[in-house]
Amino acid sequence: TITKYILALEEIREERGTDQQERLRVLFYEQIIPKEIYDLFTVIRLKGNEAVHNPSYGEVNEAKALLHMAFRIAVWFMEVYGDWSFQAPEYIEPTPQTSISADELDHVVKSYEEKLAQLETELEKIRKEQLYISSEEKQKRREFSQRAIANFELTEAETRILIDQQLRDAGWEADSEKLRFSKGVRPEKGRNMAIAEWPLKRGYADYALFIGLELVGIIEAKRASKDIPSDIEQAKEYAKLVVRHGNEVIHEPWGDYFVPFLFATNGRPYLKQLEQKSGIWFLDARKSTNHPRPLQGWYTPRGLKKLLEQDIERSEQFLRDEKFDYLKLRPYQVKAIQAVEKALEEKKRSILIAMATGTGKTRMAIGLIYRLLKAKRFHRILFLVDRKALAEQAESAFKESKMESFHTFTEIYSLQSLYDQKPDDETKVHIATVQGMLKRIFYNDRPEDIPPVDQYDCIIVDEAHRGYTLDKEMDEVELQFRDHQDYVSKYR
């Protein structure tokens, strides 16, 4: 009902038959509810669906955490849409009841249905009113919303529920109440599991990630960490203390670490302005020169498997030895590619190439991409443009460019165009527009089709200097953004 109220108060028409998932999608993509609130709503929705379809579903501790989440949503709603001077009372956990009679349950249900009917009547009245909300008031709401969530301090149980859901969305089996070492859960062939409270020589890892029997990751989950990157240090200590408990596969150590991939998080969505206090921090512990970095989502099992198979040092040596002759490039194009490859060796994650118009940027980029793929430096590359015309030109260039033995690029590597929404497993280059990618990320009707963080491990942006300037003639994808500022904010 809260989401219905918000839509009405924001003067957004709700179509007949709209469900909770669609309401949340609209509110989130219109930037009305922040990611923190969206995540709480989503977890409650999914858990509620499970309970409806499975009467025996549920754990007491989980139910307590979900109640606290619902309280947080109600407080946020009051602070933003009720009274801006509202002071939230302290949360009091309901007193446990060992049993409830049928009559008592009927009374609770009847009371709930009466209150719901009353709220629906009030809601219909609001929908019929012309509220004429000013842009200033809407902006004020956004400010109060951000202020309210800044004070969020989730409990450990709430944090675990959010992390569980994030891991499930990325393709892992995760349930920190049920999938625990202490409950006899062990890694199994053919399953990708996040097992909670995995015992070490000393202490426990919050989660151990297994691809089949293979231990590939450790997660340090903090309730309210002030500095998440520092929690990676704890994960590094845990990676030194791994012991075998059964038939699981533990790697030979990389230096002191028996686990290749380490993560730390507090369950809060990544925010650039609060980079040290949000997101998922990741460290590839296989090389001592690697540094922790923030992610906006979790690696999938497939993504970690690909990363584990990658030998970057071997790729870098291959690139140093590989000749340029067959690419038929001009000297300055070769120098540009060499500069990029050197920057990659130096662990640079953002590289800018500036070349004048007419100097063959696309041909240089195709040569660079071919070398990077041949060296297995990257698994799949996204070639991003900001106009359909540029995408079509790039596709033609890939199809016509000769590489080795008179074969074109697309005869050697699989390429998909901007009309392909999702890359196939064997796709090595995917051409897309900025607008199309924003639609896939922010306006996707199918959450399972939102690109995971490992769908592409390299992004090449063509005409990067154009920034996020909208063309005057917007296509049907671009028109789905509310206005220029909406497009700009999502581009950023």
d(CA 392, CA 290): 37
Residue 156 lies in a domain: no
Tell me the C-alpha to C-alpha distance, in Å, between residue 253 and each of 241, 287, 308: 11, 11, 13
Section 449-478 average pLDDT: 69
User: Which amino acid appears at position 300 of this protein?
Assistant: T
Assess whether 451 and 304 both reside in one domain.
Answer: no
The torsion angles phi and psi of 395, rounded to 5 degrees, stand at -60, -45
Q: What is the DSSP letter of 14?
A: P
DSSP structural state of residue 283? E
- Could you read off the pLDDT of 222-235 as tens digits, one per residue? 876 567 888 899 99
Question: Does residue 239 share a domain with residue 286?
Answer: yes
Which residues on adjacent β-strands are paired with residue 381? 429, 458
Split at pLDDT 50, 70, 90, the class of 475 is very low
Task: Give the pLDDT confidence score for residue 132 in this predicted structure.
Answer: 67
User: Does the pLDDT value for residue 67 go beyond 80?
Assistant: yes
> Is the same domain home to 342 and 435?
yes
In a domain, 161, yes or no: no
Give the residue from 17, 15, 22, 16 showing the smallest Cα distance to 3. Answer: 22
3-state secondary structure of 264: strand
373 and 323 in a common domain: yes
The single-letter code of the amino acid at 453 is: V
- Residue with more model confidence, 137 or 74: 74
How far is the C-alpha of 286 from the C-alpha of 305, rounded, in Å? 14
Q: Does one domain contain both 288 and 318?
A: no
User: How many residues comprise the chain?
Assistant: 492
Q: How far apart are CA 301 and CA 416, in angstroms?
A: 23
Residues 6+ apart with CB under 8 A from 348: none
Q: How confident is the model at residue 414 (pLDDT cuts 50, 70, 90)?
A: very high
The mean per-residue pLDDT over the stretch 90-119 comes to 84
Q: Is residue 304 part of a domain?
A: yes
Same domain flag for 176 and 145: no
pLDDT tens digits, 142-167: 888 888 887 778 888 888 999 999 99
Residue 246 sits in a domain whose CATH number is: 3.90.1570
Are 138 and 127 in a shared domain? yes
pLDDT tens digits, 249-287? 999 999 999 999 999 998 888 877 777 778 899 999 999
Whether 163 maps to a domain, the answer reads: no
The amino acid occupying position 118 is: Q
Contact 414, 430 (CB under 8 A): no
Same domain, 457 and 397: yes
Residue 158 in any domain: the answer is no
DSSP secondary structure letter of residue 213 = T
Per the domain annotation, does 162 fall within a domain? no
Tell me the C-alpha to C-alpha distance, in Å, between residue 138 and each of 131, 247, 355, 457.
12, 57, 44, 38
Give 129 or 414, the one with higher predicted confidence. Answer: 414
What is the model's pLDDT at position 51? 83
Q: Is the pLDDT of residue 100 over 90?
A: no
- DSSP letter (8 states) at residue 254: B
Number of domains in the chain: 3
- Considering the domain architecture, whether residues 475 and 443 belong to the same structural domain is answered as yes
Q: 480 in a domain, yes or no?
A: yes
Same domain, 464 and 322: yes
Q: Is residue 253 domain-resident?
A: yes
Alpha-carbon torsion angle 20, 25, 30, 33, nearest 10: 60
Structure tokens at 116: 């719901």
Query: How confident is the model over 335-369, as pLDDT tens digits?
Result: 999 999 999 999 999 999 999 988 999 999 999 99
Q: Residue 490 — very low, low, confident or very high, per pLDDT cuts 50/70/90?
A: low
Residues sharing a CB contact under 8 Å with residue 251, sequence separation 6 or more, in sequence order:
214, 215, 258, 259, 260
Q: Are residues 452 and 322 in the same domain?
A: yes
Of 291, 309, 327, the residue at which a domain comes to its end is 309
How far is Cα 243 from Cα 233, in angstroms, rounded to an integer? 19
Q: Which residues contact 337 (CB under 8 A, 6 or more apart)?
A: 324, 329, 364, 367, 368, 371
Domain that holds residue 132: 2-95+102-150
Tell which of 259, 287, 309 closes a domain.
309
- In this structure, what CATH number is given to the domain that contains residue 429? 3.40.50.300
Strand pairing report for 280-284 and 293-295: antiparallel
Domain stops at, among 286, 309, 332 = 309
Q: Residues 249, 279: one domain?
A: yes
